[in-house]
Copies of this chain bind each other. A is one copy, B any other.
Amino acid sequence: MNYSKYNLPAVFSPVLTPINADGGPDTARLLKQCQWLDANGVGQAIFGTNSEANSFSGAQKIDALEKLIAGGLNSKHMMPGTGACSIDETVAMTRAAVSAGCSGVLMLSPFYYKDVSDQGLYSFYAKVIEKVADSRLKIYVYNIPQVTKILLSVPLLERLVKDFPTTVVGIKDSSGDWPYTESVIKALAGSGFQVYAGSETFLMRNLRAGGVGCISATANVNPRAIAALAGKWQDAGADQAQADLDIVRSVFAKYPMIPAMKTAVAHFSKDSSWAHVLPPLIDLTAEQQKALLLDLEKIQFTMTGL
């Protein structure tokens, strides 16, 4: 495991969630997957966008988290997603993660209403922090405007960091908008704010600019190589390693990413139950699965030890 200077894994994956017959998280398979990721140097940001977090209920997620911890995962390598549209649900999930000893929580903004104000978002986070009422709480806010239609403005981040300096400690930026990421680093990284890029595509740029790592979908399928780059980014050959990562990502990005990654896990683990997503997402068609596996073969991609 390569760590950031803040002692957290430098690379996390929003862990894909296998689904049981009742439509809930298959906690046994999920535990195994988290163990595999950990062994390959990647922390577990369970219940992110790529985990289909919002397709499960709060109760299902809290139950799964408890089972993962009971199964022996290292909570210091975990950063569960806990943000929901309601303060009450966000608080319940956040408390569960803090009680489990997780390093941090990845907190989505309340995403139902559109055109919400910075003041409204600030009040939401402030109320969650007040209600969780636990000094161990470390929040990484989650910026993913293409899904939430909310861009976390730099002034909002500055206000949160100023008012909750030991609690609001970082961000996952999935905007894909590098000038924005860079502006957050310039404004806040100097005072210890931890900026994770939302994709390994930006890993080198982020680390060179003063960010700490990445939390990336593709870390579900290509963990070892991504985690390795986070440890040798100042070495010769790092740019080539970045280019190699980009090739793998570009193959998955040709398909709907979540079912494509699940197809890869199903294929390489020889466990077809992995290939399914929950509505409103849909599984890859048989044709898409075949094309993806052919594309992966062409680049000699494999997942070992699954």
Q: Which chain A residues have a beta carbon within 8 Å of chain B's beta carbons?
A: 23-24, 49, 54-60, 85-89, 92, 109-114, 116-117, 119-121, 123-124, 127, 131, 146-147, 149, 278-282
- Which residue of B109, B147, B282 contacts A117 across the interface (Cβ within 8 Å)? B282
Given contacts A114-B146, A127-B23, A147-B114, contact A86 B54 (CB under 8 A): yes
Q: Are B109 and A280 in contact (CB under 8 A)?
A: yes
For the complex, give the distance between the alpha carbons of A280 and B125 in Å: 9
- Which residue of B57, B111, B117 contacts A92 across the interface (Cβ within 8 Å)? B57
Q: Are B87 and A123 in contact (CB under 8 A)?
A: no
Residues of chain B lying within 8 A (CB to CB) of residue A60: 86, 88
Copies of this subunit:
2
Some 28 contacts from A to B, beta carbons below 8 A apart, are A49-B112, A54-B85, A54-B86, A54-B110, A55-B85, A55-B86, A55-B110, A56-B86, A57-B86, A57-B92, A58-B89, A60-B88, A86-B278, A110-B279, A110-B280, A111-B112, A112-B147, A113-B147, A113-B281, A116-B281, A117-B280, A117-B282, A120-B279, A120-B281, A120-B282, A123-B280, A124-B279, A127-B279
For the complex, give the distance between the alpha carbons of A50 and B64 in Å: 33
Residues of chain B lying within 8 A (CB to CB) of residue A59: 88
The 7 closest A-B pairs by CB, nearest first: A120-B280, A124-B279, A123-B279, A57-B88, A54-B112, A54-B85, A116-B280
Q: Are A88 and B24 in contact (CB under 8 A)?
A: yes
For the complex, give the distance between the alpha carbons of A111 and B117 in Å: 20
Q: Looking across the interface, which residue of chain B has its beta carbon closest to that of A61?
A: B86
Q: Looking across the interface, which residue of chain B has its beta carbon closest to that of A85?
A: B54
Residues of chain B lying within 8 A (CB to CB) of residue A57: 58, 86, 88-89, 92
For the complex, give the distance between the alpha carbons of A23 and B128 in Å: 11
Q: Looking across the interface, which residue of chain B has its beta carbon closest to that of A59?
A: B88
What is the distance, in angstroms, from A93's C-beta to the closest C-beta of chain B? Answer: 10
Residues of chain B lying within 8 A (CB to CB) of residue A56: 86, 88
